[in-house]
Amino acid sequence: MNALDLLLLTSLGTVLFSVVFSASLTGRMLLTMLYAVQTVILFQIDAGTEMVSSFGFEIFNHALGLSFNGLSWFFALITLGSAFFAAWYGLNQQQKLLHVGLSANVFSMLVLLSAGDFLSLFIAWELVSWSGVLLMVLGKQESLVATLKYITYAIAGGMAVFAGIILIYSWTGSLAFNAVTENPLSLSQYGTLAILLIGGFSVKMALLPFHLWQAEAYALTSGPASVFLGAISARMGLFAIVITMMHVVDLKTLDSIFLIPELFTFRDFLIWVAALSIILPTYTALRQNDARLLLAWHGIGQGGYMMLGLLMYDQMGSAGGLLHVFNYASCQAILFMSVFSILHRTGTTNLNQLGGLVARMPLSFLAMLVGIIGLAGLPPMNGFVSKWLVYRSLLSDGMAIVFLASVIGTLGTILSVYKLMHNSFLGQLRVEHEHVKEAPWSMTVPMMLLAIIIFITGVMPGISLELVANAQSAIGLTPVDYHLGGVVSANSAISGDLDMIWVVLVLFSGFGIAAILFLSAGKSRRVHQLDNYAGGHFLNANNQYQYSDNFYAGLMHIIKPWYRYSFKWFEGAVVSFVNLAAVFSRSFFNQAHMLIWMLVVVTTVMAVAII
Amino acid sequence: MIPDISSILFSGAIGLLVIGVGGLLLSNNAYRVLLALVIAEAGANLMLVIAGYRWDAIAPILTGDFTPQPMVDPVPQAMVLTAIVIGVGVQALALTLIIRVKKAYGTLNMVEIKKRMEMDFDRLSQEANQPGKLEDNS
Amino acid sequence: MYQFASFVFLLGFLFLISVITGFLPLGEPPMLVGQVIQNNAASETGASNFVTSVVLGYRGIDTLGELSILFAAATAGSLVLSGLKQKSIESGDAGFLVKSASELFFPLLIVVGLYIVLHGHLTPGGGFQGGVILAAAFFLPLLAKPSKSINSLALGLIEGLSGAAFIIIGLIALFNEGAFLKPFFENGELGSLISSGTLPLLYIAVGLKVGAELASLLNLLNQEEVNDS
Amino acid sequence: MKHYIILTVILPLLVAFLLPTIGRFSYFLARALPPIILIFSIVITACVYNNETAPFALHIGDFVAPQGIVFHVDSISLLMALSVQVFALFLWPRRSFKLQSEQIVSNKRYSLMLLLVASANGLAFSGDLFNLYVFYELLAVATFGLISFDTNEANQARFAAAFRYLVISATGSVMALLGIALVYFLTGTLNFAHLATQQANLFNPIGLSAFALLLVGFGVKAELFPVNSWVPEVYSAASKKLSGYLAGVISKLAVLVIIKALLFIFPHSEAAYLMLGLGLAGLLIGELSAMRSNDFTRMISWSSVAQLGLVFIAFSIPGQAGIIAGLAVLFHHMFVKTALFLIAEKWGGRISDLHGQGYLNLIMSGIFIFVALSLIGLPPLPGFWSKFLLLNGLAGQEYYFAIAIILITTVIEVNYLFRVANHLFSREDKPVLPINNHHWFDTLTASLIVVALIVAVWELPTINDQLIIMSDQLLDIESYVNRVLISTENGL
Amino acid sequence: MIEAFVLILVIIMLAAALSALLLDNLIAATASASAVSIALATIFIILRAPDVAMTEAVVGTGLSSLILVLGLKRLKLWQLDTQSDNEEVK
């Protein structure tokens, strides 16, 4: 019984515990503590070495094993952390399915992370897909619709993965992770596997064009579930893609598969998919008027950065990609928490019907401020570090256009998170929200803790970079050269070290100067929002002096949503095609005379037999 | 000129089969479908008997002094015996079903029957999940 | 369109199956099984009609299945028609000719039927053919006097008991001789009426069963619906 | 002991014959007798299954094969017979109340049900082509009768459905009879073991045509693609428990007949390709039709068409892999489809009418979701392993096209099954009125099926061993021939 | 000689079969169907199958026709004037 066994058993025990006890508040508190316990157990596992679980099964002559390495450890930490904060955040949620679903998700993800061969990878993959459903159905009717869409997409991806694994088995005769590396295949076989496996896994990751399901499925459910799903769920796809690149088709192979001869390789294709996944969903997010959907669309966009970083597959790029998983998870979690505490208190997340809540919910505002700075990738929060690493890697690889694309994406992020904060917390407080109170402590405390984490890992990225370095060495890369404050550039051709402590110091000295200027200016008087006038008119409650309706209307005029419709059109075309086929097949059963088919089969077979 | 006997017999069996199957395919009247079925079955039976026929042989019954002589194969005959009786049973059952269909829908037209049946299904489907239906029809 | 397709495939079927039968040898059957039966049947079953020995001996379970099918058809038929309110057809008495013919033919048909059943193992004919004639004998009075109904209790009893008799004869063989439907009496002298072991007994059961079954089927169809409206 | 296995065929027949007469004297006896007989048969079958490790041949009437009829008893046929009887016991029609006169009617129903069981057992054991035909016809006739019984007089569609089914089934029988005639022309025998020794005579266009005729003929009950248009009609019209029995168990016996024909009459790739093509077509057309269905019963009927297509695809894979995969898919579907039809017993109507019912009847909706998950193939439920075996077999033969179609249709399957779940747990603001609850016994049966599926997950290695044993026995034609023809060497 | 006899029988049989399907009058069609059985029974005799011939004669010609006729009566189609198949389509 080693620590990994203990971790999995505790996780399974948590599932059982949640099934029985999640109805009471005490039970939910204990549940939260159980995630902390799991984290503690996780720390007993040495991230630097591979640990094999003593659990194993033999089914149909395939031995299934579980093992843990640095990469799994890294993802497991994020999973458990997200679950811990989500459970805390959901202490006052009565829905039993939420807590059961959360623990089931954590368990299945841990199994996925410790998968030791392709079969157990697929089994865990399907379990993760289906346990995600438990967390997605917690909202109103619309969440059920979104879940149906999700599960259709997810199973489509899962089946592609299934096909890939079956092909691996039939080509190599083994399901172990080293099956392909030990029996090299032909280039077309590699190409097939890459399409099936990476394509299948990227559905979960919501890379273009498989992204249409994600925003609704993640956003429209209950708060803690959104926090957890948004933070980590989609990243399981990233983990599986890393596994694929490690064990099936490495980037060198991908780079030798030409889609356009001598010009455009499979890897280039994936890079462009990642870049487009950054830009297009981000600008779709800009158009959203529901805070939850806005955040969820960002989740899709941010996945692109991680994918991009990994596709660089160098020291810096992959470190950036992996680090962004951690950073993004913390930012997305805190943003969802903030938005859902607004929903909890006001009953809406429609950005056109909110505003001015900063005075009523200051802690939630603070949390959102920290979150959007991190999400937009600005110092001093942690999102900056990972994006910097990815940019740096892109530049040093000479991919200027992709770099430009990702910068455009960041621009969209900044615009849209500003819209989010402006429309909800800043501006005019609505009359109906006059008596709104701050969210309860069970919501604010995890928000504050997360804010601290975001800030600390932003100032001292070395803490999280250590985990990333372990993960990197587990997948066979040279780990990034880090110190507490940042990274040291490996090759000195392009100089570019990063030390966040210095950056933050500079930044805060700037803030200090601004504060001195602000304080030295004249005193202002606090007034009620209606005790005010504009253009010579006194304002009353009916007057809108905050342009939260149609925010960015001018910008929207420029970026027409053609790209979004093109994907919707594609999806609709597939659906209509299937429906058309269904109508045809139904007509088979609608005929009054049905015996002719018997004759057709018999006659055809006879004809073929005689000829 | 008369063709040889095997082609005559085969054409008889095949003719019955094809006429029967053709009737099954093309008849619109349920009763005529039944007649076509009878004819097709007769064709298959004839085929089976032909399978056991043997030149210059006697019927498979020992007569006279019980000396062994070449006989036609008794096995297909026994099977055809069975098949004929089976056929008549199915035919009687089909007739009772036709009677009920006629009673229910007032028509023997296959297209019409199908149409009415689908309408019935739609109605049943709408009624099935309505609350308060207390009939136990398991 | 549908009719055109039907014609095309019918013609194709006609042509192809003609081609196939062109390959088949008529009149020279392989006789793999048949020859063995011809050689052994007389000694194994004692019936001089080899078709009977096949029907009741070698393929006895086929016959049981066949009886079950008839039974199932009659049962299912009565189940199908059970929902209807119905009564015997009352179209007045049939004419003198039919009436006297029925009176004349009733005993004759019974005798002929029983004869055919009893000689099934010796001459062509047997339980099925005789059974049908028995059914006709019982049905004939109905045609003559439509108001009279067949005693369905008696029919059911005959039907059930004769079927059971067939199986019980088989079961006796199973428990005594270790094989279901194994003939277990002495074979007797070839060609005589009391010979070939249990086969005549089985044929009597078959005949009664078929007769009762068909009579009830005919009775079933010879009803008329009562119109409520 | 082993001679008594024939009692599983004979005793139901005997009781079926006597039941209408018994019912006139004692209604209670008539109600009690059939289940007792079924339990007795189950005991016999289970004893034989336990005691006889090696397969054996039973010569009926002690007539040596191939002249006499042979019952060949091996693990697969015993397991099939066992499932026939056990499922019949659990899906036994309940008493229909109300009128005194209906007692006679329900006796007839029991009697037909017993005939159905007897014929299904016969199909499982028989080793003779024409004998199979007879049992198949008995099965068909009993089925027609059972379909056309319903206490709900408003359901007039059942007669039309039964008649249309009868026409297609009888035409199939004619085709099968023609096939039997062709086989007899070529070989002069109908015993499977004897046919296996004559395969050289059958490996020609005529043999293939005969196989196609048999396939189409016996395929009617097996819901094979072009002859399955009766499926949605009949399952909608008949009582749902009966539909579950037909779709879950009886269709499998027809599949078994076809497998026997494939192995003993025409074991060549042409036949396998034919089955593969028809299976794929059935799979596609079934799943696509189910996707568009608004009615729960029709949906699962079409899903059953699709699943049977999957079974045919599996058996079309040559060699042991195909047999193992086919058996796995077959037995899995037997359990799953029965449970689905038990759910349809009360929820069989429009799917949109089911909104919110899941909250009222958590047990049944839970069972539905579990069973649907297994049907889709969520690992580690049994459905996944059967699909895994199937896809592995297909990949081994490089039938990549088939793999693609199976996986795509799985996605469609997920979509329509979980559309139902969405309606069950709908959160629309419509009043949710309780529909009649399922009978406690149906709920128990469905729960037992769920338990069986869960146990199957734990017992996967055992099941795997059993599947290997069964496939070995099915494929070991040489010793089959030896067993059946053992005492006929001198006779030939 | 026997060929000519069989040929005539087969022609009669097929003609009867066709007329069973093509005659508008269902009574005539039923009669044609039993004519098929009679011809078939004769052919069975020629094929040395007396048992089958007897069965076909008794069952096919007699019983089956009787059942069909009773069915026709029951269906209220027992009328001698011509009735088209499609008459009932509205």
From chain A, the residues in CB contact with D171 under 8 A are 595, 598
**Contacting C residues, span 10-49, partner chain E, CB-CB under 8 Å:** 49
Average pLDDT over residues A99-111: 91
Chains D and C touch, using 3 or more CB pairs below 8 Å: yes
Residue entry with tokens 């996967």: D460
Counting other chains too, the contacts that A546-553 makes at CB distance below 8 Å and 24 or more residues apart are A546/A355, A546/A356, A546/A426, A546/A427, A546/A428, A548/A351, A548/A352, A548/A354, A548/A355, A548/A422, A548/A423, A548/A427, A549/A352, A551/A351, A551/A419, A551/A422, A551/A423, A552/A286, A552/A415, A552/A419
- Is a pLDDT exceeding 80 seen at residue E79? no
* Of D439 and D312, the one with more pLDDT: D312
How far is it, in rounded angstroms, from Cα B64 to Cα C45? 18
Give me the phi and psi of A55, to 5 degrees please. Answer: -80, 135
Domain locations in chain D? 314-482
Mutate to test the interface with C, among A591, A596, A601 (most CBs of C within 10 A): A596
pLDDT of residue D307: 92
Identify the pLDDT of residue E16.
92
Chain E 49-88, residues with CB within 8 Å of chain B CB atoms = 49-52, 55-56, 59-60, 63-64, 67-68, 70-72, 74-75, 77, 85-86, 88
Give the mean pLDDT of A143-163: 91
Convert the pLDDT of each residue in A541-590 to its tens digit.
666 666 556 677 667 766 665 566 777 888 888 889 999 999 888 888 88
Query: Above 90 in pLDDT, residue A413?
Result: no
Residue A480: how many other CB atoms lie within 10 Å:
25
For residue D133, pLDDT over 80 is answered with: yes
Give domain B5-54+72-120's CATH number out of 1.10.287.3510, 1.10.10.10, 3.40.50.300, 3.90.870.30: 1.10.287.3510
Per-residue pLDDT of D23-43, as tens digits, reads 888 878 888 889 999 999 999
What's the mean pLDDT in D91-106? 69
Question: What token pair was written down for D361?
Answer: 């009847």
Where does the pLDDT of residue E82 fall: very low under 50, low under 70, confident under 90, or very high at 90 and above? low
Domain boundary assignment for chain A? 1-249, 562-610
pLDDT, residue A319, reads 84
Q: What is the pLDDT of residue A43?
A: 86
Q: Which pLDDT score, from 0 to 100, does residue A546 have?
A: 60
Type of residue numbered D492: L
Q: With beta carbons less than 8 A apart as the criterion, state whether B121 and D346 touch.
A: no
Q: What is the pLDDT of residues A232-256, one digit of tens each?
A: 888 888 899 888 888 888 888 888 8
* Distance, CA of D407 to chain centre: 24
Give Cβ neighbours of residue D465 (< 8 Å, ≥ 6 apart).
none
The answer to whether D99 faces chain A, any CB pair under 8 Å, is no
Lookup: tokens for D187 = 């070989």
pLDDT at B134: 47
**What would the mean pLDDT of D414-424 be, rounded to a whole number?**
89
Whether D66 and chain B come into contact, CB under 8 Å, resolves to no
Express as a percent the part of chain A with pLDDT over 70.
93
Closest residue to A593, CB basis, from C2, C10, C19 = C2
pLDDT at A75 over 60: yes
> Is B137's pLDDT higher than 50?
no
For the segment A599-606, the average pLDDT, to the nearest whole number, is 89
% of chain C exceeding 90 in pLDDT: 3
Contacts of D145 in chain C (CB under 8 A): 72-73, 75-77, 79-80
Q: What per-residue confidence (pLDDT) applies to E14?
A: 92
Q: Tell me: cis bond preceding A561? Omega within 30 of 0 counts.
A: no
Condensed to tens digits (0 to 9), the pLDDT of residues B97-128 reads 998 888 888 888 888 899 999 888 888 888 87
- Residue E90 confidence (pLDDT): 36
- Cα-based angle A195, A201, A202 (whole degrees, multiple of 5): 85
Q: Is the pLDDT of residue A468 over 60?
A: yes
Could you report the per-residue pLDDT of A20-44, keeping only the tens digit for each? 888 888 888 888 888 999 889 888 8
Residue A83 has pLDDT above 80, yes or no: yes
How far apart, in Å, do the first and last CA atoms of chain D sit?
Answer: 29
Model confidence at B73, pLDDT cuts 50, 70, 90, reads confident
Which member of C5, C10, C16 has the closest CB to residue A607? C16
E47 in reach of chain B (CB within 8 A): yes
Residues A154-195 have pLDDT tens digits of 999 999 999 999 999 888 888 888 888 888 888 888 888 888
The ipTM (two decimal places) reads 0.89
The 10s digit of each residue's pLDDT in A495-554 is: 567 777 888 888 889 989 988 888 887 677 777 666 666 666 666 666 666 655 667 766
What was the pLDDT predicted at A361?
84
Condensed to tens digits (0 to 9), the pLDDT of residues D383-409 reads 999 999 999 899 988 889 999 999 999
Q: For B67-89, what is the mean pLDDT?
A: 86
SS3 labels along chain D: CHHHHHHHHHHHHHHHHHHHHHHHHCHHHHHHHHHHHHHHHHHHHHHHHHHCCCCEEEEHHHCCCCCCCEEEECHHHHHHHHHHHHHHHHCCCCCCCCCCCHHHHHHHHHHHHHHHHHHHHHHHHECEHHHHHHHHHHHHHHHHHHHCCCCCCCCCHHHHHHHHHHHHHHHHHHHHHHHHHHHHHHHCCCEHHHHHHCHHHHCCHHHHHHHHHHHHHHHCCCCCHHHCCHHHHHHHHCCHHHHHHHHHHHHHHHHHHHHHHHHHCCCCHHHHHHHHHHHHHHHHHHHHHHHCCCEHHHHHHHHHHHHHHHHHHHHCCCCHHHHHHHHHHHHHHHHHHHHHHHHHHHHCCEHHHHCCHHHHCHHHHHHHHHHHHHHHCCCCCHHHHHHHHHHHHHHHCCCHHHHHHHHHHHHHHHHHHHHHHHHHCCCCCCCCCCCCCCCHHHHHHHHHHHHHHHHHHHCHHHHHHHHHHHHHHHHCHHHHHHHHCHHHCCCC
Q: Is the pLDDT of residue A493 over 70?
A: no
Structure tokens at B69: 């002589």
Neighboring chain C residues of B5 at a CB cutoff of 8 Å: 26
Domain spans in chain B, listed from the N-terminal domain onward: 5-54+72-120
Name the residue among E54, E62, E67 with its Cβ closest to that of C221. Answer: E67
Which residues in chain E are closer than 8 Å to B61, comparing Cβ atoms? Answer: 50
- Band of residue C90 on the pLDDT scale cut at 50, 70, 90: low
For the segment A274-283, the average pLDDT, to the nearest whole number, is 85
Tell me what the mean pLDDT of segment C184-208 comes to.
78
The reported pLDDT for the residue numbered D116 is: 93
- Chain C nearest C-alpha distance from A597 (Å): 10
pTM for this model (two decimals): 0.92
Q: Which residues of A touch D291 (CB under 8 A)?
A: 578-579, 582
